Structures are given as C-alpha cells and as structure tokens.
Amino acid sequence: MDTLLLDREAVDANARMDEVTDAVSAAFAAYERGDARMPAKSYIDLPEYNGDFRSMPAYMDAGDWDAAGIKWVNVHPDNPQKFDLPTVIGTMIYSDPETAMPLAIMDGSEVTMKRTGAAAAVATDHLAIPEARSLGLVGAGVQSYTQVEAIAAIRDIEEIVVSDLDEEAIETFVDAFSDRFDVRGGSIAEAAACDVLSTVTPSTEPLVSREQLGAHTPVNAMGADAAAKQELDPGILTDAKLVIDDHDQTTHSGEISIPYTDGTIGDDDIDAAVGEIVVGDRPGRTDDDGITVFDSTGLAIQDVATAHVVYEHAQETGDVDSFAFVSR
C-alpha cells in the first residue's frame, strides 16, 4: 500500500464539506465519550528565526471507523517578506491506527480551514434557530470562505454580510459568492445583526459589542487561538449561553481566556462543551436561550476526522499522487 500525497488542491477536492462536518461532529462525540486520545499541543519556540513549530497528535474512535494522525504546523511571520512563503505551513500525516502505516501526507493548512468551518457548522446546527437565513462574518480572510461553505450546508443561508478593514478582501469575497447568495460588505454592526455570526480575525481587542448582536444570534468565535487574542466584548460572554470545544485550550488561549484569567467569568459561566451537546448530555438551543457563543480553539481530533474524509475519497478516486513510503 503506497502513501498518498495530497497538495492543497487535492485536499480541497476530496474534503466534501457535509461529510467533514459529520466527521467533526463524530470527533466531538468521541472526545466526550472518552473514545479519543489527544495529548496537549506542544510548541518549539525558535526566536532565532522569529517563529515556532506546533505538533497536534490525536487518535479517535467514531464507532464505524477510527483514525490517527498528527498535524505539524508553524508560524513564521517573516516568511512572506523574506522568503515568499506563507506565514503558516501545515503538514498532516494520516496513519493507520492498527499498523502505523502512513496512509497519507497532506496539506495541513487546507485541512485546518475545512475543519474550522465544519466545527462552526456543528455548533450552528445545535445553537441557531432553524429558520436562520442570514450569515454575518467579521473577517474576510481565508477562514471566512469555509465558514460560508460549511454553515450554508446546514442552514438555508440566503444573505451574507461581511465586514473587514481590507476593502479588497471584501471585494474578493463578494465576487466569490455573488452567484450563490445575496452578499455584500457592511459594518461590524450589520454583520452582527444577522441570524448567525462568525468572527474570524486575529484581533487582540474586542470588535463586536453586546448591543450589536441580534436577540437570538449564535456567535461562532473562531479567531482567538492565542492568549492575547479577543474578538468579543466580555459583556457578550457573561450574557450568552457559552459553549466551548475544550476547557484547557479555551481557558488558556481561546476567546474566553482573557476574561477567564481576570475573573470576569468562571467555570460556572460555561454552559457546555460542544461534545456534550452532540451526544445529548446537554441541550443545544432552547426556547429560553438568547445569544450563544461557541468558543472554538481547534482540536487535533478535528484535523484527524477531516483527514479521514479526505483520505477515503482520495483512495476511491485514485486521482492523486502516491509513493512507496515503506519498503517491504
């Protein structure tokens, strides 16, 4: 059995979003049931190169299938200017849990984008009103595209409002989706007033205020993945039904990390982990709920689940490169 080699385009072609969303939902459920093993993300700081490496290994058993893998990802801010390379370069190794055979090596950045969109879709499916028709986005970067792709697969989205400081990014986004949706650029307040809101920025200061949100808006806070990052006014968190992906990660580096550290919110303010909702141990949206917040930091099990979908389809089509990684 050869090892498949999938670049960004091949991952995109084989990551069917409805199946990725189902697989990520299964990953949340496996984690909640105790059927996943996910060591903490480890870091190698490289100050001499103004960068770092992060390793994210995981194994999960979804019942009908199991999967293992590791994502090796970096952040090197000098790359674009000095080397004409991306700041972030991710590599995903997807392995057979039984034999340890590396089944595929694939572009980890595309895996990250797909699983991030899928995680928002899982949360939205449980926390948004069934009649949700409009989607607001704060941030028009690469992550915003998979937010649309995933959320539009679980709600009948008709209208999209995107807000960004970069007018060119807004124009590119609008051009990409104008044939499918009523899409336009707008203010943060206009985006926040939509039926669903996803924030996908690297902001270190709150961008969205409590007053800007609709009465029942579910917010997918996807941008904060480091301790200094923050997209939402802390008043939103104290008022909202608060759902997290993982307690250790969100309290350390998620949207809630700053108000959690300074005591504005505590464990009693966290209503549920998304896995608890997926398996039915805690309710999703109820008639009494107003705004909700899903604090997503991104888990290695989501990467493994997404890689599983990509590998299965790539293996079926056979339309990807492969090589003999293990000699016999």
pTM of the model: 0.95
pLDDT in tens, 185-209: 999 999 999 999 999 999 999 999 9
Note if 229 is an active site residue: no
42-46 and 36-37 strand pairing: unpaired
Annotated catalytic residue: which of 41, 71, 114, 229? 71
Name residues whose C-beta falls within 8 Å of residue 10's C-beta, 6 or more positions apart in sequence: 106, 107, 314, 320
pLDDT in tens, 263-310: 999 999 999 999 999 999 999 999 999 999 999 999 999 999 999 999
What is the rounded CA–CA span in Å between residue 177 and residue 183? 7
Confidence (pLDDT) at 328: 67
Token pair, residue 145, equals 């595209």
pLDDT class of 168 with cuts at 50, 70, 90: very high
Residue with tokens 């999960």: 60
Name residues whose C-beta falls within 8 Å of residue 54's C-beta, 6 or more positions apart in sequence: 41, 42, 43, 44, 72, 73, 74, 75
Amino acid at residue number 327: S
Q: Which residues pair with 242 in a beta bridge?
A: 270, 293
Angle of helix 142-151 versus helix 167-177 axis, rounded to 10? 30
